[in-house]
Amino acid sequence: DAGVTQSPTHLIKTRGQQVTLRCSPKSGHDTVSWYQQALGQGPQFIFQYYEEEERQRGNFPDRFSGHQFPNYSSELNVNALLLGDSALYLCASSLTDLFEQYFGPGTRLTVT
Amino acid sequence: KQEVTQIPAALSVPEGENLVLNCSFTDSAIYNLQWFRQDPGKGLTSLLLIQSSQREQTSGRLNASLDKSSGRSTLYIAASQPGDSATYLCAVVQGGKLIFGQGTELSVKP
């Protein structure tokens, strides 16, 4: 049984560009959450998707948007990239929003 | 607003020592608490999950306790090994999302 998978592993973008990150949840999970982890910090909640809808959102600007597909996989899109968006982006899946969350390996985004 | 704090920020111990990592949170209205391990540049591995109605959970050499009334959790690692070197993060589940502390960076010297 594959766990949570994320792609790509690493990404380098230029300031002002747009980026899309992808996540496939653990088999049987229906809820996907995205987190941003800056170097030396704990992960910060971006948003959560359930039944293809954004269920809740953290304190991130509208430049951060997402989508969940019928197969529960999810995308995170970031527009107008800033240097401060450089971070490790983590995807977590769970069965509903209350059960144990399982994390993927993350995507390392570098904005130059 | 929920705030999670982990002390110490970094810890270095010789192999074989027993150690305790601390986590505190400001709002006791949590659903559960998870401890994670993170190796450098990698994702998070769940170590232990404690439901809000539980007092502790054990897995191998790890034991985590939870005291909701005082807003504290501890992760006890017995007989530490160099392979335990990593950053340990605690997170509370509140409103369906995880709220993390800053982590404790553990180094176990051979």
**Per residue in A100-109, pLDDT tens?**
889 999 999 9
Q: Is A42 in Cβ contact with B91 (below 8 Å)?
A: yes
> Does residue A99 carry a pLDDT above 80?
no
**Residue B60 burial (10 A CB sphere; 0-12, 13-18, 19+):** exposed
Phi, psi (5° rounding) for residue A84?
-70, -10
Average pLDDT of the segment spanning B41-50: 92
Kindly report the average pLDDT of chain A as a whole number. Answer: 94
| pLDDT score recorded for residue B52 | 87
pLDDT band at B44 (very low <50, low <70, confident <90, very high): very high
How would residue B90 be classed by pLDDT, with cut points 50, 70 and 90?
very high
Mean pLDDT, chain B, integer: 94
Mean of the pLDDT values across residues A4-18? 97
CA of A30: how far to CAs of A41, A62, A87, B41, B51, in Å?
Answer: 27, 24, 25, 26, 21
User: From B33, which residue of chain A is nearest by alpha-carbon distance?
Assistant: A100
The gap from C-alpha B27 to its chain's centroid, in whole angstroms, comes to 17
Contact B48, B66 (CB under 8 A): no
pLDDT at A97 over 80: no
Q: Is A72 exposed, middle or buried (0-12, 13-18, 19+ CB in 10 A)?
A: buried
Q: Which of B5, B35, B98, B99 to mutate to test the interface with A (most CBs of A within 10 A)?
A: B98
Q: Is A108 an interface residue toward B (CB < 8 Å)?
A: yes
Q: Please say if the pLDDT value at position B38 is more than 70.
A: yes
Range A58-77 average pLDDT: 97
Specify the pLDDT at position A96: 78
Task: Please check the confidence at residue A74 and state whether its pLDDT lies above 70.
Answer: yes
Mean per-residue pLDDT, A25-46: 95
A8 cis-preceded (ω within 30 degrees of 0): yes
How far apart are alpha carbons A76 and A46 in whole angstroms?
10
